[in-house]
Amino acid sequence: MKFVIAFLSIVLGCALALPQTTSSQPPKTKEPQQKQPNQDDATIRIETELVQVEAIVTDKSGKLVRDLKREDFELKEDGKPQELSHFSVGTSTRPARWITTESKTNPKEAATTTPTTTPTTTLEAGTGRYIVLAIDDLHLAFGNLVYARQALLKFVDQQLTPDDQVALITTSGQLGLHQQFTNNREILKRAINRLSFAERRVAINTSGVPRLTPYQAELIENNIPDALALAVNEIMAKNPGTTRQMAESEARSKARMIVSENTSLTRATLGTIENILRGLRGLPGRKTMVMLSDGFLLGGFSQGALYDVRRITDAATRSGVVIYALDTRGLIAMPEAFDASQPGFGNEQPPGARMSIESSAMEANRDGLNALSRDTGGFPIFNNNDLSLGLQKIAEDTEVYYLLAFEPTVSYRDGRFRKLEVRVKNHPEYKVRSSKGYFAPDDKATVKAAEKEEKERAKLEEERAKNPDKAAKKELSARIDLLRDAMNSLYPLREIPVALSASFVDTGKGEGYAHLLAHFDVANVKFEKANDRYNAALEVLVGIYDEKGKSVDTFSQKLALALKPATYERTLKSGFLFHRQIKLAPGFYQVRMVVVKEFPRQAGSSSEWVEIGDLSKKQLALSSIFLAADNEVLFAALPQNEKVEEEKKIEDQQVVPMPSQISHRFKRNSKFDFTVFAYNAKMDANGKTDLAIQTQLYTTGNKLLLATPLTKIEMAAENKTAPFAPYAARLSLDKFAPGTYELRLVVVDRVANINAKRSVSFVIE
């Protein structure tokens, strides 16, 4: 497969051929060894029963306390003091030293197993913050959603750092696929702008009779006399011929329907939050979840009847997530259902019952937000009309925190909830916010699960012998489940590290393609040696989705790795490239890629967004910008009709380190080449085009550092009749400090008097 087009050598002035990497023969005295992963200072992995708790400490004026040490803290589990085995201080730019533990699946071995270091298989902790914006659109009024959207856009523009990773989810799932962690502000803003009012709303009719809100309906279900009497008297006043028994039956029936619908929405909300939290466990380090909601009911007089909120506390503790809640209703002057324009205002029977009920409802709707935030170490923000200010307060609270870890002195392993309490010794005036507890491991449940798994494995082996087709379908279903889980993960899986770039190129004839270039790091992949070859079979699955989360294309390809010893050694050290081009209609797409190895099962994933231009408008358009270090190959191929094979063998020329074209990372004082293609240039009366380009360089915060004079784009001799114009140049980085930058290219069509822009971010190390 060819990755490089010939005419680029004309533009860049150098031959762009695939690198010919050489390597020495492996030592004869021993077999090639797989590369061992480096241990990141931010992550330690041990096998032990360990509980980690993050604590935020404030003084009596509410300011963060920043200078505490291990000996300053006291931690209790169910009232019993615990000895701290690990202590670390974290900041918004330097995470605390997180410990990732491997679970013990065999209770009999738990008492005798010695803690051991195991290979890193998940994403390593970064230097920035991980923030999940959870939009509870199932409980958001339309006006409040609009207000929240504006505040979030301001938050992204003004309060995020280049290293912050932000994910966006909705409790209704209206985004289709949630927005995975990204530091791309434009992508985040597009996701925020896609937020819309959720149609799944509780059937509240505040103008009908009886006027029941979810809280009053809940009171009626719990046989509260005033709530029922208020509804019954409304019905009888509206319909004088109705008996009290008939009115009571009607009121209870409507209340039952509203409670049922509200229960469904609350469970959906909390279930989504719990699933997201548990899915973050494989991501080391501290995570913050900001939940924006109008509030919801937890079951009134039957606390926990709708959902055991301790499950969310447990999930947050195990995943290292602190939840903050932002009441999007802001400052509430009057209950929503208490409206003087409503019929019968002031004449309710019993007198004042509606005001009393709805005033209580205001607080009841905050119970859920209170529980989720305070029980996980965060806090709620109520009665604040400035949502942006609330988000700023939350961001400031992440500046300093303490990570405490302990091994329980007594491990009951009975599945019961364990209460945690953290305080600062000798400083009673200090307030400590931390997780309120977790569920202990349950050995009985673990044994049952292991027994069930063993039975299913034995049954599958039996089916393989008796009914191979049925067994194959079950194995396929399990593989699909794994691929789906990897595809839907908020963060990339790292057992097989995958780096992906998705770029737009066009034939110049309105045929837009997503140019996919991926790099697989197989240092941790388990190879089998046979006949002087190192063998492994991988499967690549790619899903392409539009902005609404609708699947527009999927494909899979099996990769057969049968490597000679020398190539095997190089592959472990360098990894290899994977390339595909997908024809797509104009639009904005997310590409999600998963690579899986079976037996033993390992997985990796990555995702990128790509915008496919619309050349049918016959207006100036640009391809994506392609980057390459000055000593690298530019893998920028024009679309071509390549043969798609069901199983592909990895060629030796694909075994190369990750190119800068994917990583967009460059050393300080180095140089890189950038290339872009311009389409639909208009010709003047003489059949000539007049295109000019300006190169602009920005820092984070939209500060302009560099703007070159307009430079004419010359058509290469071989391409004067071609419907596209290539441009390439080199940028020297010797004058720029390490950090994140944005390269913008502005092309002007002086014949058509129109311009087009493209941008790409890169990092100077």
Which tens digits make up the pLDDT trace of 48-66?
A: 578 999 999 999 999 999 9
Sketch the domain layout of the chain as residue ranges.
Answer: 8-23+487-764, 43-92+94-127+400-439, 130-397
Amino acid at 519: H
pLDDT of 20: 36
pLDDT of 347: 53
The Cα–Cα gap between 420 and 282 comes to 23
Residue indicated by tokens 């809640």: 325
pLDDT of 55: 95
pLDDT of 428: 93
pLDDT of 663: 94
pLDDT of 678: 93
The Cα–Cα gap between 715 and 706 comes to 25
pLDDT of 544: 92
For 248, left (φ over 0), alpha (ψ -120 to 50), or beta?
alpha
Amino acid at 644: V
CA-closest candidate to residue 679, choices 606, 749, 608 = 749
**Claim: this prediction has a pTM higher than 0.95:** no
Look at the chain and count its residues.
Answer: 765
The Cα–Cα gap between 183 and 377 comes to 25
Amino acid at 418: R
- For the chain, residues with pLDDT lower than 50 are 1-41, 45-47, 103-125, 201-203, 301-303, 340, 343-345
Q: Which CATH number fits domain 130-397: 3.30.70, 3.30.420, 3.40.50, 2.30.29?
A: 3.40.50
Pure H helices in 117-243:
142-159, 185-193, 214-221, 225-238
The Cα–Cα gap between 616 and 28 comes to 61
CATH architecture classification, 8-23+487-764: Sandwich (2.60)
The Cα–Cα gap between 181 and 179 comes to 7
Amino acid at 680: N
